[in-house]
Amino acid sequence: MNFVKHVGKHNNKKVVVLWNQIPGVEDMCLVTYTETLPRQYHDDLITVLESPQGQASKELNEVLHRSLLKDGRNMLTTLHSEGWIKKVPTNQVIVTPTPTSNVRLDELNGLIKKMSEGEEAVKKLAELDSQLGMRDKTKPELKSGPTIKEPAKTVDAVNGILDDTQLAKQRVAQAKKMRAEAKMLVEEARRLEQEAKELSKSNASPSEKETTAAV
């Protein structure tokens, strides 16, 4: 095989990496030294390692847990119970996927973590995008005409809560509206008063009109 996962060296001894990291102890890993394994264990381990399932696994222990030795015993359990699994620092293990390439296991773990975090971030953004309705896939896209951009929304506005800036703008708009309405009411009151005066004059008696004229 040109590229083989889960293999490397520790202190110049060939190892198969069973756990890239020990849960809760990220600077340590679990390996088995292939050159000191009994021949039966070695051959069965390499068969699983080079299998499609072994190469597709994120960590080899996941496959060994489901694999059996030729004598019918569970492979991972046997390696553990007989003391063939060793704990070593990740920065001392050199992973050698090909004869001409190598990388320290702790550096490889860091790269894998960053890739995983990147994928998780993309998934979260997609979920937020769907939940907030930023894209409405049920509506056809307009292929002509100018593009109208919606005003930017703050996180609080998206969640249905107005922030201080938006509250201030809302109050200013309400004040302007109220001033306009008040102006209209004043103008309407003046018009009604003028009409009332004119009606009073037209309904006055002749004597009242003469008196008014004399004055």
Domain boundaries of the chain, sorted by first residue: 7-105, 158-214
Q: Supply the pTM of this predicted model.
A: 0.56
Query: Beta-strand (E) ranges in 11-92?
Result: 13-19, 28-33, 86-89
- pLDDT tens-digit series, residues 97-111: 998 889 999 999 999
pLDDT of residue 183 exceeding 80 = no
- pLDDT tens-digit series, residues 115-137: 888 877 677 767 766 766 544 55
Q: How many Å apart are CA 176 and CA 136, to the nearest integer? A: 35
Judge whether 80 and 61 are in contact, CB under 8 Å: no
Give the amino acid at 109.
Answer: N
- Percentage of residues in the chain with pLDDT exceeding 70? 69
What 3-state DSSP class applies to 181?
Answer: helix
Dmax (CA) for the chain in angstroms is 137
- pLDDT tens-digit series, residues 32-79: 999 999 999 999 999 999 999 999 999 999 999 999 999 999 999 999
